[in-house]
Amino acid sequence: MDWLFFGEISLAGLAMGGLYALIALGFVIIYKATRVINFAIGEIMMFAAYLFLAFAGGMEMSPWVAVPLAVLGGALLGGVIEKTMIRPMLGESPIAVVMVTIGIASILVGLVELIWTADPQLLPSFLPRQPVFIGELYLAPKIAYGFLIGMAVLVIYLLYFRFSRGGVALRATASDQAAAYSMGINVRRVFNLAWVFGSLAASVAGILVAATGGLSPQFGIIGLSVLVVVIVGGLDSILGALVAGVFIGWLETVAGAYLGGEYRMPATFAVLAVILVFKPYGLFGTHEIERV
Amino acid sequence: MDAVLEIENIEVVYNKTVQVLRGLSLTVPRGAIVALLGSNGAGKSTTLKSVSGLLALEDGEVTAGDIRFKGQSLKNRPPEKLVREGLFHVMEGRRVFEDLTVEENLVAATYALSGREDARSRGYELVYDYFPRLRERRRQLAGYLSGGEQQMLALGRALIARPELIMLDEPSLGLAPLLVEEIFEIVARINREQGTAILLVEQNAAVSLAIASYGYIMENGKIVIDGPAEKLTANEDVREFYLGVGGQDGEARSYREIKHYKRRKRWLS
Ligand SMILES: Nc1ncnc2c1ncn2[C@@H]1O[C@H](COP(=O)(O)OP(=O)(O)OP(=O)(O)O)[C@@H](O)[C@H]1O
Ligand SMILES: [Mg+2]
């Protein structure tokens, strides 16, 4: 066994896992606050990545402007989706709401194909290019810097939830909706903000992931891996999303490198199956999940 | 007009099918403690939810009648607005946020102050003065508090909101008698010192009427008897059926049954 190769692959996998964790965090924020399983999270991040392509590629904006604009676009998209399509479903069965998010996902794919065609595209590169070595291990700079940016965003989110007043409102709403109303918390607004900030986190990750591997209308499939991540972690657990994100990212990359790209997904699903047998609510989950 | 809350002939229906309130009326004067008593399923909690707007979350609806808070009709006002205007509902079962700390629970309640001029001072110290035990446990998760401490926290959140009316749903639920007395004393103190009106929903009639100035007794969705607390305490039927004093067999029977019983007696004689 070539330990150097294994080490480099693992490192890249862990870094990708960090970005998965960020997407998963976006998913979990929405789920915790609103109890909606958002199947469109992968497509929202795809949309943000295409926005970046349009701003930085087509319009030739500087990445310093294009990245924030694209991220804001993704966040706004999340907010609009919540307000126009999810909120009217309040009180409907969870399955119905899930179907709506699946519908939104395919609308977004169609929209993207319409505007940017179905062909794969490369994002203009915007991350530093000097190679990164950790000890003797080489790490592709795109992955390394993507990881760092992703982690910075993630840490900001965690600090916000833990220490800010808004974080308290979000956690209170997640813990007991009726009681949150009775405190004077505007729960509908919390729902909307959860979608905005969940989509924002996913958008950041989307642009960073697309920067390493390119972009196509199928890019949103990553959302499926992320779903595995959050189910493994326990749908409503932020810690679970982080740990599982890193783990699944590592597993996919290692499986892809040793067994071939077509084994990435089967490997993650095999792990999912095994974990659900032993821990039906995921590694860190607490609440019972609606059986689909 | 010096009522802070007026409920006039409301009818409430759940799921568009089950009628629970059938023409209920009551009034809470400013700064007063009013008790709303009744047995399980009478509709006490439903009454409070109709006022605070939380009814809609359970697919309930006020189909007739009117509710006025400080003289203004409450129809179609979202619950968080009402809280911000000074109407605080402490729900049945306390409903503390279990995975938040004690202090974070109080922080959550500061949302009640949104848009108010005096929103700057948050009043945590006031809460800790009323409930020193909460001060010791401020960094602890609320889920690990005892039942009594959780009730204190629920009252503490109400204090943070500086409301004009607190609606308290069964604060004595599941607490030992000594603790019930302690809590009710503090409720009376809050009313006296903060001038907050209190609508107190209870099954425990004795302790409630001890601190209330006026009482209503409800059954099956409407008020069956009401009066000043001393009068109610002295009323024989109330004594027998709600205070557990007197009575022949000590069996708990409802006020409606007394009426039937009396009517039957009248027929027989
Ligand atoms: N969400 C709901 N949907 C349908 N029916 C309900 C709902 N909530 C309460 N009810 C019914 O309304 C009636 C009154 O309930 P409510 O909770 O108001 O009674 P209560 O006087 O507070 O009783 P308790 O002392 O047990 O708390 C009960 O028959 C109950 O079954
Ligand atoms: Mg009740």
Q: Is the confidence at residue B90, as pLDDT, over 90?
A: yes
Both structure tokens of B52:
């605070």
With beta carbons less than 8 A apart as the criterion, state whether A31 and A38 touch: yes
Residues of chain B with pLDDT > 90, as a percent, come to 77
Give how far Cα A43 sits from Cα of A79, A111, A154, A276, Å. Answer: 14, 11, 20, 26
Scan for tokens 């019983």, then name that residue.
Answer: B261
What is the structure's pLDDT at A135?
A: 80
Mutate which of B19, B45, B224 for ligand 1? The one with the most ligand atoms within 8 Å of its CB, which is B45
DSSP-assigned letters across all residues of B45-64? HHHHHHHHTGGGGGTEEEEE
Nearest to B2 by CA among B26, B28, B23, B20: B28
What is the structure's pLDDT at B259?
A: 52
What is the structure's pLDDT at B251?
A: 46
Both structure tokens of B104:
């974070």
For chain B, the residue count is 269
**Residue B238, SS3 per DSSP:** helix
HSE at residue A91, side-chain half, CA atoms within 13 A, is: 8
Residues of chain B whose C-beta is under 8 A from some C-beta in A?
Answer: 52-54, 57, 59, 78-80, 83-84, 88-91, 95-100, 104-105, 107-114, 157, 161
Q: Kind and range of the H or E element at B30?
A: none
**Residue A139, SS3 per DSSP:** strand
Both structure tokens of B18:
């089950």
For chain A, the residue count is 292
- For residues B133, B135, B140 and B141, what is the CA-based torsion angle, rounded to 10 degrees? 80
User: Is B99 within 8 Å of A178 when comparing Cβ atoms?
Assistant: no
| Strand-strand pairing, B222-228 and A132-134 | unpaired
Mean pLDDT of B214-219: 95
Q: What is the pLDDT of residues A186-195, one digit of tens each?
A: 999 999 999 9
Residues of chain A with pLDDT > 90, as a percent, come to 52
With beta carbons less than 8 A apart as the criterion, state whether B186 and B127 touch: no
Mean pLDDT of A35-42: 92
Residues of chain A whose C-beta is under 8 A from some C-beta in B?
Answer: 91, 165, 168-169, 171-172, 175-188
List of E strands, chain A? 132-134, 137-139
Least confident stretch, A156-170, A276-290, B78-92, B205-219: A276-290
Least confident stretch, A74-88, A226-240, B102-116: A226-240
Confidence of residue B255 (pLDDT cuts 50, 70, 90): low
Of B97, B104, B114, the CB nearest to A176: B97
What are the two backbone dihedrals, phi and then psi, of residue B215, each rounded to the nearest 5 degrees? -135, 150
ipTM of the complex: 0.88
What average pLDDT does the structure give for chain A?
A: 89
With beta carbons less than 8 A apart as the criterion, state whether B172 and B180 touch: yes
* B3-234 CATH fold: Rossmann fold (3.40.50)
The CA angle A237-B89-B17, to the nearest 5 degrees, is: 85
Rounded distance between C-alpha atoms, residue A173 and residue A195, angstroms: 14
Scan for tokens 């203009």, then name that residue.
Answer: A124
Q: Kind and range of the H or E element at A58?
A: none
CA–centroid distance, B64 to ligand 1, in Å, is 18
What is the structure's pLDDT at B250?
A: 42
Mean pLDDT of A42-46: 95
Scan for tokens 């009709």, then name that residue.
Answer: B73
Confidence of residue A166 (pLDDT cuts 50, 70, 90): very high
Confidence of residue A78 (pLDDT cuts 50, 70, 90): very high
Q: What is the pLDDT of residues B8-43, one digit of tens each?
A: 999 999 999 999 999 999 999 999 999 999 989 999
Instruction: Residue B57: list chain A partners with CB under 8 A.
Output: 177-178, 181
Least confident stretch, A8-17, A104-113, B29-38, B86-95: A8-17
Q: Is the confidence at residue B95, as pLDDT, over 90?
A: yes
Backbone conformation region of residue B94, classed left if phi is above 0, alpha if psi is from -120 to 50, else beta: left
Give how far Cα A141 sits from Cα of A53, A137, A138, B107, B204, Å. Answer: 20, 12, 9, 43, 70
Q: What is the pLDDT of residues A273-289, one digit of tens each?
A: 888 888 777 777 765 54
What is the structure's pLDDT at B244?
A: 66
Nearest to B223 by CA among B240, B211, B207, B238: B238
Domain spans of chain B, in order of start = 3-234, 235-269
Of A91, A178, A184, the CB nearest to B161: A184
User: Is B80 within 8 Å of A186 when comparing Cβ atoms?
Assistant: yes
Nearest residue on chain A to B157, judged by CA atoms?
A183
Q: What is the pLDDT of residues A115-152, one digit of tens each?
A: 998 898 888 888 888 888 888 888 888 888 889 999 99
Give how far Cα A122 sits from Cα of A65, A209, A212, B175, Å. Answer: 19, 11, 9, 66
Q: Diameter of chain B by CA atoms?
A: 69
What is the structure's pLDDT at B262?
A: 46
**Residue B13, SS3 per DSSP:** strand
